[in-house]
């Protein structure tokens, strides 16, 4: 590590960029994921509306997930390089010492231990943070894959793992977000303002407080293990091609992850059920008699055909024995003594006299009798039944006798 | 002799008496009207008896545009109707009729006559009429579709009996049972589907708990059920009854169906989608996509019940055509709450996080609090702290 006026470089630029990418993708994932876990919360609705709907929210969530996975692939490649080519100390690996450090720190905070533990490049707090992130990412990527590709998943696993994956994804999300807020926020923003992840540098003073063992190693010149240039070149020649292939495979896997299944995500045009809306029931016709037989269709017996001649046709029907009663029952309301339109059908004499339009019954000629014409046309208030009309026609043609 | 009189004079007597009463009424009401077709005197209103004198005759018809329209009014039916009960006069609706002969009917067909006639209902039923103006039927009428229902198609004004309680305004149970018959007049195939459904079967057996047409479609202001808004709101429509323990309890049906739907991927989406874009289409399923619309069956129906995976899979395939294995159906929890018996994996994952989250966070919080104590509080109390030295 190069020492520059009391500052030590802690994180190279690439690592800081990596952190920034993870920071942004993680935050985005949390902001777009939690509303999906708690759809009924008012805040969730507000977030969804702000982003322009649930589908947008999901798209953003997916993009952020892709960035996080790309970052993870990059991280693994860098790890491989450092571990194999540079052979740096695997200072992030957890050890028993971390447990001891954690315990001592706790005891110190409680006033039981006399001193705070002296720690190296990564404190137990930072290691916990890192490995929690590794665990979380692993869970999220696996369960995320299952939800993103349910059809592929159930080829190998029972269907139940899809909702189980969703449960784990949501549970882990709550855990991760809250852990970041409690642990990370406190550790690097509240406890002390540690900006080294953004500036890349840490002051000697801070190094002494936070990472005294690393500072000692740096000062002793044993923090880094220099690698012979030839050996370095040789290892690079081995590592880089392998890493390239592995990276391509992983990127291919990521591509598959994202694109393998489209049907679950893209719109399958919903086939709206098409129903014939207007299908009226077929009614049995209302029980109306057929008083409105068109004149031409009146099925009269030949002997009673109207207008077959002026010769009276013999008939037993008379005003007294039938016709008068029909008029009284059916026509009397209007053409009784009230004589609507001047026509009074209550007595034989008045009936034969007719109304305002003149005679309505022409003895022997039902064809020309207004009463018959009106009734056959139909629609007259007090419409007679067809058999009644037939009787009246028969009666008129027979001479419209009173007795 | 007495016998003879009785047998022969009774009907005539009856006619004479009723005729006499009628004539008396007519004489009283028209004291100075000459025997002619002159209109009634101003302010004189025709009574229902005046009208029925002719219009109760069987078989009265009129020809409108070459089609026959029955003019017969059954006196008993009308008296039993709500209009009869409330003494509504014929001429309250047929207000242009003041005498005989009646004014010429200015309509192209009996249907046209009905359509011209129904606005008169608003004189008494303004609220319902206003709602109708907003309905899909009214829009169809306005666009020239004469088949669309107007007031009188559902409520025959001459025979409609009381539908709602006079005091509470609530739909009477017996009226409820008859509603689908009304709609069926025009929507017969839909009615046939409904009739065979779990709801329709129960209704025809006299069960008033089940929804009739109007419970989902509304009444009077019926909206198009094919809009996105209607589809998106379906879960909330069905859940009106299906989250009501007082109804569902009787049949042992879960009231948790909405919660379980909304907490699933599909339901979450529809719920959140509906919040933002109630009128946009979503491709996620709503209740009716799996359960059917008018032909809803019991989920354990032996032939098509979706409690059976093979039947459920066909529903999944509507949107996931590549889903070919029945195990896929387990990706949906079928409205179950996971338990050690049903969907145990989901249950135990939830259980794990139920303990894991508080444990981890509690541990973190405890350490952080001790650190705050040592770092920020102890120094203020004058103790040793702050620095790790």
Chain A within 8 Å of B10 (Cβ-Cβ)? no
Q: Distance between CA atoms of A19 and A26, rounded to whole angstroms? A: 10
Integer distance in angstroms from the first to the last C-alpha of chain A?
141
Helix, strand, coil percent values for chain A (each to nearest 5): 60, 5, 35
Half-sphere exposure in the Cβ direction for A19 (13 Å, CA): 13
Q: What is the pLDDT of residue A266?
A: 56
Average pLDDT, rounded, for chain B:
85
Sheet holding A201-203, edge to edge: A3-4, A7-9, A201-203
CB contact under 8 A, B349 and A164: yes
pLDDT band at B62 (very low <50, low <70, confident <90, very high): confident
Tokens coding A116: 């705070």
Q: What is the pLDDT of residue B283?
A: 83
DSSP A323-345: IHHHHHHHHHHHHSTT-GGG---
pLDDT band at B277 (very low <50, low <70, confident <90, very high): confident
Q: Where are the domains of chain A?
A: 3-259, 300-397
Residue A62 in this model has a pLDDT that exceeds 50:
yes
With respect to CATH, is domain A3-259 assigned 1.20.950.20? yes
Q: What is the pLDDT of residue A295?
A: 43
Alpha helix segments (H runs only) across B94-212: 110-117, 126-133, 136-142, 151-154, 173-184, 188-195, 198-204
What is the ipTM metric for this complex?
A: 0.75
The β-bridge relationship of strands B67-70 and A201-203 is: unpaired
Closest Cα of chain A to B23: distance in Å? 8
Q: What is the pLDDT of residue B33?
A: 33
* pLDDT tens-digit readout, A123-137: 999 999 999 999 999
Q: Distance between CA atoms of A328 and A350, rounded to whole angstroms? A: 12
Residue A366 in this model has a pLDDT that exceeds 90:
no
Nearest chain B residue to A111 by CA distance is B374
Lowest mean pLDDT among A129-133, A290-294, B268-272: A290-294
Short-list B243, B325, B231, B328, CA closest to B285: B231
Q: Distance between CA atoms of B55 and B75, rounded to whole angstroms? A: 9
Residues ≥6 apart with Cβ < 8 Å to A332: A345, A346, B19
Chain A within 8 Å of B14 (Cβ-Cβ)? no
Residue B121 in this model has a pLDDT that exceeds 50:
yes
Q: What is the pLDDT of residue B8?
A: 46
Question: Do the Cβ atoms of A100 and A117 come closer than 8 Å?
Answer: yes
Q: What is the mean pLDDT of residues B185-196?
A: 93
Residue A321 in this model has a pLDDT that exceeds 70:
yes
DSSP B92-127: HHSTT--SSSPPPP--SSHHHHHHHHGGGGGGT-HH
Q: Distance between CA atoms of B158 and B81, rounded to whole angstroms? A: 7
Residue A287 in this model has a pLDDT that exceeds 50:
no
Give CA torsion, residues B303, B308, B312, B314, to 10 deg.
Answer: -50
Q: What is the mean pLDDT of residues B49-65?
A: 85
Residue A249 CB: number of other CB atoms within 10 A? 11
Question: What b/e string do you get for A323-358 counting C-beta neighbours within 10 Å, with b at 16 or more?
Answer: bbebbbbbbbbbbbebbbbbbbbbbbebbbebbeee
Question: Do the Cβ atoms of B248 and B241 come closer than 8 Å?
Answer: yes
Residue A305 in this model has a pLDDT that exceeds 50:
no
Of B327, B356, B364, the CB nearest to A159: B327
CB contact under 8 A, A39 and B371: no
pLDDT band at A178 (very low <50, low <70, confident <90, very high): very high
| B288 alpha carbon, distance to own chain's centre | 16
Q: Return the percentage of chain A with pLDDT > 70, whole number.
A: 87
CA angle B296, B299, B305 (to 5 degrees): 85
CA angle B330, B334, B339 (to 5 degrees): 80
| B352 alpha carbon, distance to own chain's centre | 46
Residues in chain B with CB shorter than 8 Å from the CB of A267 are: 283
Q: Return the percentage of chain A with pLDDT > 90, whole number.
A: 46
Q: What is the mean pLDDT of residues B356-372?
A: 95
Question: Do the Cβ atoms of A286 and B70 come closer than 8 Å?
Answer: yes
Nearest chain A residue to B262 by CA distance is A39
Q: What is the pLDDT of residue A122?
A: 93
Q: Is B20 exposed, middle or buried (0-12, 13-18, 19+ CB in 10 A)?
A: exposed
Question: What b/e string do you get for B295-326 counting C-beta neighbours within 10 Å, with b at 16 or more?
Answer: bbbbbeeeeeebebbebbbebbeebbeebeee
Half-sphere exposure in the Cβ direction for A335 (13 Å, CA): 30
For residue A172, the cross-strand partners are none
CB contact under 8 A, A385 and B61: no
Q: Distance between CA atoms of A81 and A73, rounded to whole angstroms? A: 13
Select the more confidently predicted residue: B233 or B60: B233
* pLDDT tens-digit readout, A3-31: 445 888 899 999 999 999 999 999 999 99
Count of pairs with CB atoms under 8 A, one residue in A, one in B: 246
For residue A4, the cross-strand partners are A7
Mutate to test the interface with A, among B341, B372, B388 (most CBs of A within 10 A): B388
Closest Cα of chain B to A97: distance in Å? 18
Of B22, B356, B388, the CB nearest to A116: B388
Residue A268 in this model has a pLDDT that exceeds 70:
no
Of A151, A160, A341, the CB nearest to B320: A151
pTM, whole model, 2 decimals? 0.73
Residue ranges of B 151-180 with Cβ closer than 8 A to chain A: none
Q: Where are the domains of chain B?
A: 227-337, 344-389
Q: Distance between CA atoms of B323 and A240, rounded to whole angstroms? A: 41
Chain A within 8 Å of B230 (Cβ-Cβ)? no
Q: Distance between CA atoms of B193 and B187, rounded to whole angstroms? A: 10
How many residues are given for chain B? Answer: 389
Residue A4: enclosing H or E segment and its boundaries? Answer: strand A3-4
Q: What is the pLDDT of residue A373?
A: 85
Q: What is the mean pLDDT of residues B315-337?
A: 89
Q: What is the pLDDT of residue B139?
A: 94
Lowest mean pLDDT among A260-269, B287-296, B365-374: A260-269
Residue B67: enclosing H or E segment and its boundaries? Answer: strand B67-70
Short-list B276, B213, B161, B289, CA closest to A273: B289
Q: Whose structure tokens read 């101003």?
A: B42
Q: What is the pLDDT of residue A400?
A: 86
pLDDT band at B101 (very low <50, low <70, confident <90, very high): confident
Nearest chain A residue to B269 by CA distance is A54
Chain A within 8 Å of B359 (Cβ-Cβ)? no
pLDDT band at B100 (very low <50, low <70, confident <90, very high): confident
Select the more confidently predicted residue: B45 or A293: B45
Residue ranges of B 65-124 with Cβ closer than 8 A to chain A: 68, 70-72, 100
3-class DSSP state for residue B270?
Answer: helix
Residue A85 in this model has a pLDDT that exceeds 60:
yes
pLDDT band at B188 (very low <50, low <70, confident <90, very high): very high
Q: What is the pLDDT of residue B216?
A: 94
pLDDT band at A371 (very low <50, low <70, confident <90, very high): confident
CB contact under 8 A, A277 and B190: yes
Select the more confidently predicted residue: B40 or B187: B187
Short-list B352, B317, B323, CA closest to B338: B352
Q: Distance between CA atoms of A99 and A124, rounded to whole angstroms? A: 7
Nearest chain A residue to B37 by CA distance is A341
Residue B356 in this model has a pLDDT that exceeds 90:
yes
Q: What is the pLDDT of residue B389?
A: 41
Residue A60 φ/ψ, nearest 5 degrees: -65, -40
Q: Is B17 exposed, middle or buried (0-12, 13-18, 19+ CB in 10 A)?
A: exposed
pLDDT band at A392 (very low <50, low <70, confident <90, very high): confident
The DSSP output letter for A293 is: -
Question: Do the Cβ atoms of A150 and A162 come closer than 8 Å?
Answer: yes
Short-list B50, B48, B73, B70, CA closest to B60: B70
Lowest mean pLDDT among A305-309, B72-76, B335-339: A305-309
Q: Distance between CA atoms of B34 and A355, rounded to whole angstroms? A: 14
Residues ≥6 apart with Cβ < 8 Å to A40: B262, B271
Q: Is B156 exposed, middle or buried (0-12, 13-18, 19+ CB in 10 A)?
A: middle
Residues in chain A with CB shorter than 8 Å from the CB of B189 are: 275-276, 279
Select the more confidently predicted residue: B11 or A91: A91
Q: Whose structure tokens read 């907490």?
A: B263
For residue A358, the cross-strand partners are A355
Q: Distance between CA atoms of A219 and A6, rounded to whole angstroms? A: 12
Residue ranges of B 303-332 with Cβ closer than 8 A to chain A: 318-323, 325, 327-332
Select the more confidently predicted residue: A127 or A191: A127
Select the more confidently predicted residue: B281 or B127: B127
Q: What is the mean pLDDT of residues A92-111?
A: 94
Residue B41 in this model has a pLDDT that exceeds 50:
no
Q: Distance between CA atoms of A258 and A25, rounded to whole angstroms? A: 16
Chain A within 8 Å of B19 (Cβ-Cβ)? yes
* pLDDT tens-digit readout, B78-95: 999 999 999 999 999 999
Lowest mean pLDDT among A267-276, B46-55, B177-186: A267-276
Lowest mean pLDDT among A41-45, A62-66, B10-14, B233-237: B10-14
Q: What is the pLDDT of residue A284?
A: 56
Q: What is the mean pLDDT of residues B210-231?
A: 92
Residues in chain A with CB shorter than 8 Å from the CB of B275 are: 45, 48-49
Question: Do the Cβ atoms of A151 and A263 come closer than 8 Å?
Answer: yes
Tokens coding B226: 């094919």
pLDDT band at A333 (very low <50, low <70, confident <90, very high): low
Mutate to test the interface with A, among B113, B364, B376 (most CBs of A within 10 A): B364
Residue A297 in this model has a pLDDT that exceeds 90:
no
């Amino acid at each position: 590590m190069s020492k520059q006026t009391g500052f030590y470089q802690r994180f190279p630029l690439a690592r800081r960029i990596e952190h920034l990418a993870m920071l942004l993708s993680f935050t985005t994932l949390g902001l777009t994921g939690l509303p999906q876990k708690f759809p009924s919360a008012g805040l969730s609705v507000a977030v969804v509306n702000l982003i322009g709907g649930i589908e947008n929210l999901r798209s953003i969530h997916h993009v952020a997930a892709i960035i996080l996975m790309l970052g993870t692939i990059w991280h693994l490649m860098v790890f491989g390089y450092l571990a194999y080519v540079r052979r740096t100390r695997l200072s992030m690996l957890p050890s028993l010492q971390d447990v001891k450090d954690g315990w001592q720190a706790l005891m110190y905070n409680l006033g039981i231990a006399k001193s705070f533990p002296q720690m190296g490049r990564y404190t137990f707090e930072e290691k916990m943070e890192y490995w929690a992130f590794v665990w979380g990412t692993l869970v999220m990527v696996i369960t995320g894959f299952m939800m993103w590709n349910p059809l592929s998943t159930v080829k190998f696993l029972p269907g139940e793992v899809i909702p189980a994956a969703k449960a784990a994804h949501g549970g882990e999300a709550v855990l991760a977000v809250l852990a970041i807020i409690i642990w990370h926020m406190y550790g690097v923003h509240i406890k002390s303002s540690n900006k080294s992840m953004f500036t890349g540098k840490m002051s000697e003073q801070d190094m002494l407080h936070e990472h005294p063992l690393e500072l000692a190693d740096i000062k002793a010149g044993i923090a880094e293990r220099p690698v012979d240039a030839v050996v370095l070149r040789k290892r690079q020649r081995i590592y880089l091609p392998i890493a390239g292939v592995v990276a391509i495979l992983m990127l291919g896997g990521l591509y598959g992850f994202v694109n393998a299944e489209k049907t679950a995500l893209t719109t399958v045009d919903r086939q709206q059920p098409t129903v014939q809306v207007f299908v009226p029931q077929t009614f049995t016709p209302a029980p109306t008699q057929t008083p409105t037989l068109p004149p031409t269709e009146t099925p009269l017996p030949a002997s009673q055909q109207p207008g077959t001649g002026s010769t009276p046709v013999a008939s037993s029907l008379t005003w007294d024995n039938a016709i008068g009663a029909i008029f009284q029952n059916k026509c009397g309301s209007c053409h009784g003594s009230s004589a609507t339109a001047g026509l009074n059908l209550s007595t034989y004499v008045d009936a034969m006299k007719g109304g305002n339009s003149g005679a309505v019954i022409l003895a022997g000629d039902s064809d020309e009798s207004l009463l018959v014409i009106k009734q056959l046309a139909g629609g007259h208030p007090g419409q007679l039944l067809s058999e009644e009309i037939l009787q009246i026609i028969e009666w008129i043609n027979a001479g419209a006798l009173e007795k | 002799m007495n016998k003879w009189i009785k047998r022969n004079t009774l009907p005539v007597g009856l006619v004479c008496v009723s005729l006499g009463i009628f004539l008396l009424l007519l004489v009283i009401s028209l004291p100075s009207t000459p025997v002619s077709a002159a209109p009634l005197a101003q302010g004189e209103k025709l009574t229902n008896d005046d009208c029925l004198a002719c219009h109760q005759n069987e078989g009265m018809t009129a020809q409108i545009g070459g089609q026959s329209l029955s003019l017969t009014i059954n006196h008993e039916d009308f008296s039993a109707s709500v209009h009869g009960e409330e003494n509504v006069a014929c001429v309250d609706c047929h207000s242009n009729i003041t005498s005989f002969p009646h004014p010429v009917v200015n309509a192209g067909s009996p249907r046209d006559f009905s359509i011209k006639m129904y606005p008169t209902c608003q004189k008494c039923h303004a609220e319902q009429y206003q709602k109708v103006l907003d309905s899909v039927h009214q829009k169809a009428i306005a666009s020239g579709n004469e088949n669309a229902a107007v007031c009188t198609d559902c409520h025959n004004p001459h025979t409609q009996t009381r539908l709602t309680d006079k005091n509470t305004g609530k739909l009477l149970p017996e009226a409820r049972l008859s509603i689908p018959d009304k709609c069926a007049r025009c929507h017969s195939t839909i009615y046939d589907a409904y009739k065979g459904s779990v709801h329709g079967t129960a209704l025809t057996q006299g069960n008033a708990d089940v929804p009739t047409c109007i419970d989902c479609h509304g009444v009077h202001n019926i909206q198009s059920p094919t809009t996105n808004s209607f589809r998106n709101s379906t879960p909330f429509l069905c859940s009106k009854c299906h989250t009501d323990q007082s109804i569902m309890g009787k049949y042992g049906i879960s009231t948790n169906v909405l919660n379980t739907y909304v907490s699933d991927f599909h339901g979450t989406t529809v719920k959140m989608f509906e919040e933002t874009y109630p009128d946009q289409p979503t491709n996620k399923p709503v209740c009716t996509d799996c359960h059917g619309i008018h032909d809803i069956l019991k989920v354990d129906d032996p032939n098509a019940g979706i409690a059976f995976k093979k039947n459920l899979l066909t529903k999944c395939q509507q949107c996931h055509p590549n889903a070919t294995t029945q195990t896929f159906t387990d990706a949906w929890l079928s409205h179950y709450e996971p338990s050690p018996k049903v969907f145990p994996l989901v249950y135990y994952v939830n259980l794990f996080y139920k303990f894991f989250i508080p444990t981890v966070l509690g541990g973190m919080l405890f350490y952080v609090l001790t650190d705050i104590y040592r770092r920020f509080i102890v120094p203020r109390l004058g103790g040793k702290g702050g620095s790790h030295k």
